[in-house]
A and B are shown apart, each in its own frame.
Chain A
Amino acid sequence: MPEMTAYYAPETRVMPLTLIRRDRMLPAAGEILVGPGQRVEASDVVARAELGGQFRTFEIARLLRVPPAKAVRYLKKGKDDEVKAGEVIAGRTGLAVRPVRSPVDGVIVDVDERDGRVAIEVASRLFELRAYVKGVVSNVLGRLGVVIETPGALIQAALGMGGESFGVLRSVSESPDEPLRASSFDIRAHGSIVVGGSWITASALEQARQLQLRGMVAGSIEGDSLEAARKMPFPIIVTEGVGRIRMAAPIYELIRAQDGREAAINGETQTRWGIVRPELLIPLPAETRPPLPPAVGAPLTVGARVRVVRGPHVGHVGTVAAIPPRAVRIEIGTRVYGAEVRFSPASTAFVPFANLELLR
C-alpha cells in the first residue's frame, strides 16, 4: 500500500543559544515579590503563597447537645476567623457541657448552619517560589507567578527524577561513553551538578548523596537503579533513557563546553496528559537577544539532524541521508517506513521513522 507521505517526528531541543523563557507559577494565588525588568538570581524568592489543604470538622450541635439548627448561635467564631490551638470555637456558658476547642491553628472556612457543623482549614505553610533560573523578570502574571527570561543553552532530557535545583556544572567524564561511577567524582564536586557520559552506576548515586550534589546529568541510568535514583534528595536527568546508553555526542559536547557555569536543572517528567520534559538550562551572556526555539511541526527531510531513540543505534545522532520511497523489512520481519541516517562518513543505517526524533 503506498503510504509514503511526510513524516513528522517527535522533537528534542538541544540548543547552544536560544531565548529561554520559563513561567514560574505558584500553586495558589499569593504575593509576587519582583517586578518586570528586575534581574534575579536562581536562588531568589520571586513569589510566595500560603498553602492549606488540611481540614478538621466539628459537629457543634452534637458536641454541645443542641439541635443542629440552633448550634450556630453558640459559635464564638465566624467564617474566615483565625483560631489558635486550644481556642474555644463554640460553647454554652453556664452549663456542664464542655466548650468546643480547636485542636489546631487555622481558619474557619465553613459554617454549615443546617448541620450545625464547622470546618477549620489547618494553618497553612508558607510556600516560597524561587527564580530557578538566573535572568530577568519579563512579565508578572497577576498574583499567580512571573515569567523569567534569559539567553542560554537549552537541553531537553529524556527522563528525570526529583524537582528543581541549580548549581555549577562539573563535567567528570572523559567521553560520552564513560559511565558515571563513584570514582568519577570526589569532594570537589560537593554542591555542584555533576555531568557524566554514559550511564549512572548505583555506587555513583550513593557517592552523590554523601557529597550533597545539587544534581546529576548523564546519558542513561540502569533499570535496577531507578528506585534508588527516585529517592535522591536532588534532581537527576538522563538525556537518552533507561539502560546503558551513552550520551548523544552533541549534547555531551554542548554541556562540556559550559563546564563551570551555573545551570538550572529540573527532573520533573510527565509522559502524557500534559507532557513535562526534564531539562538543563545554562544561562549565558549574549550581546543581542537570541531567537526563541523554532516552532515545531516540520516534516522530516533529508539533511535533518536526528537521534535514534530505540534499536541497535540508540543514542546515536546523525543526519538524514535519504528517505527510501518504499517500506523496508527490519530484523523482526515487519516492513516499515524510515530513513537512511548517516552517523559518520563511513557509517549509514536504515532506521524506522518511529525510532527517530528530530534534534533541534
Chain B
Amino acid sequence: MDASSSQIDSIVALDLGTVYTKAVLIARVEGAFRFIARAVSATTAEAPWSDVAVGARHALEKLSSAAGRRLLDERGDLTTPQQPDGSGVDACVVTASAGKPLSVVLAGLAGEWSLESLRHAAMGTYTTLAAEIALSGGSRRAGRSLADDRIQRVYDARPDVVCISGGTDGGAERPVLELVEAAKFAARFLEVAGSRPRILFAGNASLKPRVAEIVGDTADFLQIDNVRPDLDAENIGPLQAELENLYTTHKMGRIAGLATIAAWSAHPIMMPTARAFGHAAQYLSADAKRTKTGVLGVDVGGSTTTVSAAFGGQLYTTLRSDVGTSFAARFVDEIGWEAVARWLDFEVSEGDIQAFVANKELRPGTIPQDTAELRIEQALAREAIRAALRAARRAWPRGAGIPRFPGGDSSVPLFEPIIGAGGILARAPRPGQAVLLMLDAIEPVGVTTLVLDVYGLAAALGAAAVVEPLAAVQALESGGLMNLATVVAPLGALRTRAGEVVMNVKLSYASGGAIEDDIKAGSLSVLPLSPGQKAVMQLRPRAGIDIGRGAGRGGKPIEITGSALGLIVDARGRPLGVSPDPKRRRDQMKSWLWDVGA
C-alpha cells in the first residue's frame, strides 16, 4: 500500500521544527480518522548530530510507546505500510521549518510600491531579508558610484535570491534595467566567490525580453508575473509560489537527514510547516458555514511566527522568520525591551529581558520553571504575534472578499474561528493564559471562537490532507482542536466610558437555568460554559456599542457550545489600551490575569 492509495488507515505526521520534532499518529477507528497520540523530541538538525532523522527516530520511539504500536523496524526506520500485526503506518507526511530561511535581496524602484509588494511576497515563506535596494533614496558609499554601490550591496549580502521589481506593466524601463544590471554583475562576481544567487524578475512585464538579454546565462534566472502590474493592484502569488518552491528545494530539501526520512515512505509528502498550517486554515475557511468570516491561524514556533488568514478559501500566509519564542534577541532590539515588559505583572529591567532572550537562544529547548519566566515567554509571544499580524495586515487585500466589521474600523477583519498553535500556547499551564495571550496579541473583534491546536495537529493534518483529505476533516472534527473560549469583543467608545455598563449578556443553559451579567467598559468578564454544555447567548449592547451587528444592536440569540473557559466578553476596547504608568500597568496585567484565571 502506498500514499497514493485510497486504502490509507494510518498516518504519521512528522514536523521538524527548529527546536522540537513533533510526531503525530492519526488512524482510522471505526471508520473515521482519529487523533491517536503525539510525541515530542529535540530536533537534531544541528551539530553534534547534524541529522534530523535522529530526532525523528527519538520522537517516533516515544510515539510508539504512547500509542502502544510498534512504528520503527529493527534498523530504526519507520515501517510502511501498516503490517497485518498492526505495526507501522500506511503513510508518512513531513513538514519542516528547521531549514535555514532563504536569504533574499529585494530590489525595487520605490519603497512604498514595488518594494512593498516584494516584501509581502517574501514574507509568504521562510526568508530572511539580506538587503533592500530602492532606486529612489540610494546613497553613495566609500566614493563609489550609485551603480557600484548597488552591486556591492548585493555582493556583500551574498543572497540566495535577488528579487527585482519595479515599473507597472508598460511603465518605467531604464531604472528597472539598472537594477537588473546591478544584480547581474553581483551574481557574476559572486559566482567567482563560490555562490550563485538566483535572479527573479517580477517587474514591468514589457521588459522581459530585455531583462533576459541583460542577464543572459550569468545567473539562474526566472521571469515571473509583475508583483505590481498597476499601482492599485498587487499580484504577489506567483513570486510567493516561486520563493516557496526555492525554499522547499534549496533549503528544506537540504536539511541533513531529511532524505533518510523521505526514504521511509514510498510516496513521501513533504512541505514547509507554514504551508501545511495554512492548508488547515484554508480548509476550515472553505467550509460553507464560514462564508461570512475569515479563518485566522497563528503559530508561534521557536524561530518563526506564522499568520495564516483564509477568506472564502483564499489563503494569505505571512511569516516573521526572525522571531519565535526561542530566537528573539534581534526582534527585542527591534521593538525595544519595554514592549515585552509592558505585558508583565511584575517589574523587570532591560538587563532581565536581555538576559532572558539571550539565554533562551543559547538553550532554545529549555522550559520555564517559575511563573516569572513563564510570563516573560508569554509576553514575548504576544509581541511576536502582534508583529506578524502587523505585517500580515499590510499584505491582506483591501476591498471586496474580506469580511469586515460592519461600521467599525475597516482594517479589522472578522474571523471565526481563530486557531492558536505552537508550544507557548499549546503548553500553557492554564487555558486562561493561552486565551489572554491570544486576546492581547490578536485583539479580535465581534463574536468569535478561540481554539487551541493543543496536539500540533493543524500543520500535520494540513499536510496529511494531501494523501487523505478525509483524515483532516475527521480528525479535526473529532476533538483534534481544543475549544478555548467563545469571545465577544465589542467596539465603541469603551476606553472613554471605563466603568460604565455598556452591555448586558445572558446565557441560557440548555440544561436549564441562566446567568446574566452587566458588562462594564474596560472589563474582561468570563461566564462559565463547560465543555459539552450548550447555551443560548443573548447580547444587549448599549447605544454606541457594536458587536458587529450595528451600534446598540444585539441581534438574534446565538447558540454556543462549551469550552475550557466558556464565554469571555472582552470590553477592554480596540486598540487595546495599556497604561503608560508602570505601576498602573502592572496592576492592569494582574487584573486581566485574575479575570481569566491565569
Q: In the complex where A311-B370, A334-B427 touch, is A242 in contact with B359 (Cβ < 8 A)?
A: yes
Does A271 contact B430, Cβ atoms closer than 8 Å? Answer: no
A selection of 28 A-B contacts at a CB cut-off of 8 Å is A4-B65, A8-B58, A53-B155, A55-B185, A57-B145, A57-B148, A109-B189, A222-B355, A223-B352, A223-B354, A223-B358, A224-B350, A224-B354, A226-B354, A241-B358, A241-B362, A243-B359, A271-B361, A272-B327, A273-B100, A296-B48, A311-B369, A332-B370, A332-B374, A334-B429, A336-B367, A352-B367, A354-B366
B192 at the A interface (CB under 8 A): yes
A291 at the B interface (CB under 8 A): no
Question: Which residues of the other chain, B, contact A1 by a CB distance below 8 angstroms?
Answer: 37, 66
Tell me which of A28, A225, A272, A331 has the highest count of chain B C-beta atoms within 10 A of its own C-beta: A272
Question: Which residues of the other chain, B, contact A269 by a CB distance below 8 angstroms?
Answer: 362
Tell me which of A225, A269, A334 has the highest count of chain B C-beta atoms within 10 A of its own C-beta: A334
| CB of A296 to closest CB in B, whole Å | 4
Does B66 contact A310, Cβ atoms closer than 8 Å? Answer: no
Question: Which residues of the other chain, B, contact A274 by a CB distance below 8 angstroms?
Answer: 46-47
Pick the residue among A121, A225, A272, A310 that contacts B367 (CB under 8 A): A310
Does B65 contact A56, Cβ atoms closer than 8 Å? Answer: no
Interface size, chain B (Cβ < 8 Å): 59
Beyond A273-B46, A310-B359: 12 further Cβ-contacts under 8 Å? A3-B62, A8-B58, A56-B144, A57-B151, A222-B355, A242-B355, A271-B327, A275-B47, A310-B363, A310-B373, A354-B365, A357-B363
Question: Which residues of the other chain, B, contact A94 by a CB distance below 8 angstroms?
Answer: none
Kindly supply a per-residue 1/0 record for chain B positions 544-555, scoring 1 wherever the CB is within 8 Å of any chain A CB and 0 otherwise: 000000000000
| CB of B99 to closest CB in A, whole Å | 9
Interface size, chain A (Cβ < 8 Å): 53
Kindly supply a per-residue 1/0 record for chain A positions 150-166, scoring 1 wherever the CB is within 8 Å of any chain B CB and 0 otherwise: 00000000110000000
Does B148 contact A56, Cβ atoms closer than 8 Å? Answer: yes
Does B188 contact A110, Cβ atoms closer than 8 Å? Answer: yes
Does B351 contact A224, Cβ atoms closer than 8 Å? Answer: yes
A5 at the B interface (CB under 8 A): yes
Question: Which residues of the other chain, B, contact A354 by a CB distance below 8 angstroms?
Answer: 365-367
A126 at the B interface (CB under 8 A): no
B502 at the A interface (CB under 8 A): no
A119 at the B interface (CB under 8 A): yes
Chain B residues near A (Cβ < 8 Å): 18, 37, 39, 41-42, 46-49, 54, 58, 61-62, 65-66, 100, 143-145, 147-148, 151-152, 155-156, 181, 185, 188-189, 192-193, 303, 327, 349-356, 358-359, 361-371, 373-374, 427, 429-430
Does B365 contact A119, Cβ atoms closer than 8 Å? Answer: no
A206 at the B interface (CB under 8 A): no
* Assembly CA distance A352 to B365 (angstroms): 11
Question: Which residues of the other chain, A, contact B353 by a CB distance below 8 angstroms?
Answer: 223
Question: Which residues of the other chain, B, contact A56 by a CB distance below 8 angstroms?
Answer: 144, 148
Does A275 contact B46, Cβ atoms closer than 8 Å? Answer: yes
Pick the residue among B18, B54, B368 that contacts A297 (CB under 8 A): B54
Top 10 A-B pairs, shortest CB-CB distance? A223-B354, A223-B355, A223-B351, A333-B429, A224-B351, A311-B369, A296-B48, A242-B355, A310-B366, A242-B358
